[in-house]
Amino acid sequence: MSPNTFTGNRALVIEEPLIFEQGEPQRSGVDLPQAPEIADRLGGLERQGAIGLPGLAEPECVRHYTRLSQKNFGIDTGFYPLGSCTMKHNPRLNEKAARLPGFAGVHPLQPASTVQGALEAISLLGRWLMDLTGMPAIAMSPAAGAHGELCGLMAIRAAHEDRGDARQIVLVPESAHGTNPATATLCGYQVVSIPANEKGRVDLAALKAKLDNKVAALMLTNPNTCGLFESEILEIAAAVKAAGAYFYCDGANFNAIVGRVKVADLGIDAMHINLHKTFSTPHGGGGPGAGPVVLSERLKAYAPVPFVRAGENGLELVEHCLGDGEKSFGRMKGFHGQFGVMIRSLAYILSMGGNGLWQASSDAVLNANYLLARLSAELTPSFPEGPCMHEALFDDRFLKDTGVTTLDFAKAMIDEGFHPMTMYFPLVVHGALLMEPTETESKQTLDQYVETLLSLARKAKAGGAADDFKAAPRMTPRRRLDETRAARSPVLRWKP
């Protein structure tokens, strides 16, 4: 334990009250010109009384947020091997490009003639994503991965209904991200779960047994959430198609195969692409992301509005389901999608090029297999038979009878300066530890991480260390937080 200080501060980590506990109402960090005298047109709807917001001067505001930032771990801080999240380096060129006044400052409702560069950027990014996947169409407006899933399923539902074939069921493997079944419900479908086989892949026989004329689609993550490529994917695609259903692929793990596998060659009908994972835009503490969806020839006509197309006077935005957009399922997002995120990923793609993307997925897979190989010395890999893709999955068998849980193990990593891996997901193995190193980590970082984890594993297995693990982390701005208390009597805002 570090020594107590008078202030409770610990050098660079400074206790910071809520903004509501600071400031004076008349103070402000923004100087504004005096409003001219006018006869108001508010129609008697003025606010009565104060809102109660605190007032801080600019230096106080800057210090507040700087101190808050120092209580956070980011990719810039250190290794962040969060499985399924692709925490790769976020290039700063992306940020600079997105801040160009001609991009950041543009209003969504300017006449098309004044935003040709913006429309070109959307169109160019869409072209790259179609080329990388081999797919013939793309919907650019979805705001995130789960929103992309919704886009894909809405297109699928629209396609079925267009043929007068209302189906009710979406098949989802039990290893899927929680967003998959939640999306199916939002699209009015019932979810039926598909078991995994002992190799961590979809059980093809069980899948075939559930495929009938009530099934609208299969939602499958590939590479899957165990970090494995679905080796029978062509058979899966053929079976889905033969049943008259569509094949939706969750593209959260696209980073493993970008440039190396065209998903069109796998027989899929729709796949979202998380620009904030594969294409390096920042996660920002939980967004904003973007989830464009590539579509097959069978689904192309049902894509949402808006979309960009070439017109007589240059590029134009089609914003309504009229004329040749008539089969479109409609609009699912305000304005034209996550433009700022698109610019960032376009800057990344242009930086990487076809050759760089090939090398990136190669290195991502190499790094994960390196972790799998070296960590297997002390940890228990869930699927040791063959190589993994971009993430390595372990379970908690190596902690059996040590009194240490996956959670304790992860919290001990924090004190060692690493962000934990994804814990307890996927649900198909016990006490999962899912690690995704990405291609932007050096061998030196991986070696240090491996040595640390091996040493922690040996310490746990040696026995008598359970209490020590349970007390971790000790050196963070806060130690383990009481989540039960937070949920039992929720305090969701500050009150005077």
Partner 1 sequence: MRFLPLTDADRADMLKTIGAASVDDLFCDVPASARQKGPLPLALGLSEMEVERRLGSMASRNLAPGDVPCFLGAGAYRHHIPAAIDQLLLRGEFLTAYTPYQPEVSQGTLQYLFEFQTQVAMITGMEVANASLYDGATASAEAALMAARVTKRDKILLSGGLHPHYREVTATQARFTHLKVEALAPDPFGIEDLMGRIDSQTACVIVQLPGFFGHLKDYSALAKTCEAQGALLVVAVTEPVALGLIKPPGAMGADIVIGDGASLGVGLNFGGPGLGLMAVREKYVRQMPGRLIGETVDADGKRGWVLTLSTREQHIRREKATSNICTNSGLCALAFSMHMTFLGEAGFTNLAKLNHARAVQLAERLSALKGVKVLPGSFFNEFAVQLPKPATPVVEAMASRRILAGVPVSRFYPSWAEMENLMLIAATETVTDEDMDALIEGLQGVLS
Q: Which of 5, 9, 117, 209 binds partner 1 (CB under 8 A)?
A: 117
Could you give the 3-state DSSP secondary structure of residue 233?
helix
Contact pattern for partner 1 over residues 327 through 346, marking x by CB under 8 A: --xxxxxxxxxxxxx-x--x
Q: Which of 145, 173, 251, 426 binds partner 1 (CB under 8 A)?
A: 145
Taking contact as CB under 8 A, which single stretch among the options 210-218, 240-248, 396-404, 486-494 is the one that binds partner 1? 486-494
Could you give the 3-state DSSP secondary structure of residue 76?
coil
Look at residues 179, 122, 109 and name the one whose alpha carbon lies nearest to residue 151: 179
The neighbour count for residue 331, using CB atoms within 10 Å, is 14
Taking contact as CB under 8 A, which single stretch among the options 96-104, 202-210, 242-250, 458-466 is the one that binds partner 1? 96-104
What are phi and psi for residue 13, nearest 5 degrees? -100, 105
Q: Which of 9, 72, 168, 213 binds partner 1 (CB under 8 A)?
A: 72
User: Between 71 and 309, whose beta carbon lies closer to partner 1?
Assistant: 71
Output the CA torsion 444→287→73→426 (10° steps): -70
> Which residues in the 383-412 window bind partner 1 by CB under 8 A?
386-387, 389, 410-411
What is the chain's length?
A: 496
Q: Which of 101, 205, 312, 401 binds partner 1 (CB under 8 A)?
A: 101
> Which residues in the 224-243 window bind partner 1 by CB under 8 A?
228-229, 231, 233-234
State how far the alpha carbon of 105 is from the alpha carbons of 59, 100, 203, 369, 426, in Å.
26, 8, 51, 44, 41
Q: Rule CB under 8 A: is residue 204 a binding residue for partner 1?
A: no
Distance CA 266, CA 456 (A): 41
Structure token pair of residue 214: 């009530």
User: Between 131 and 400, whose beta carbon lies closer to partner 1?
Assistant: 131
Q: Least distance from C-beta 462 to partner 1, angstroms?
A: 24
Look at residues 143, 153, 156 and name the one whose alpha carbon lies nearest to residue 184: 153
What are phi and psi for residue 481, nearest 5 degrees? -100, 150
Contact pattern for partner 1 over residues 427 through 446, marking x by CB under 8 A: ------------xxxxx---
DSSP 320-377: SS-GGGTT---B-SSTTS-HHHHHHHHHHHHHHHHHHHHHHHHHHHHHHHHHHHHHTT
Distance CA 371, CA 403 (A): 25
Q: Assess whether the previous peptide bond of 142 is cis (omega < 30° from 0).
A: no
Q: Rule CB under 8 A: is residue 463 a binding residue for partner 1?
A: no
Q: Rule CB under 8 A: is residue 118 a binding residue for partner 1?
A: yes
Q: Least distance from C-beta 368 to partner 1, angstroms?
A: 9
> Which residues in the 148-187 window bind partner 1 by CB under 8 A?
149-150, 154, 157, 177-179, 181-187
Q: How many residues bind partner 1 (CB under 8 A)?
A: 205
Q: Least distance from C-beta 14 to partner 1, angstroms?
A: 12
Q: Rule CB under 8 A: is residue 38 a binding residue for partner 1?
A: yes
Q: Rule CB under 8 A: is residue 52 a binding residue for partner 1?
A: yes
Taking contact as CB under 8 A, which single stretch among the options 25-33, 239-247, 396-404, 454-462 is the one that binds partner 1? 25-33
Could you give the 3-state DSSP secondary structure of residue 248?
strand
Structure token pair of residue 346: 């376009």
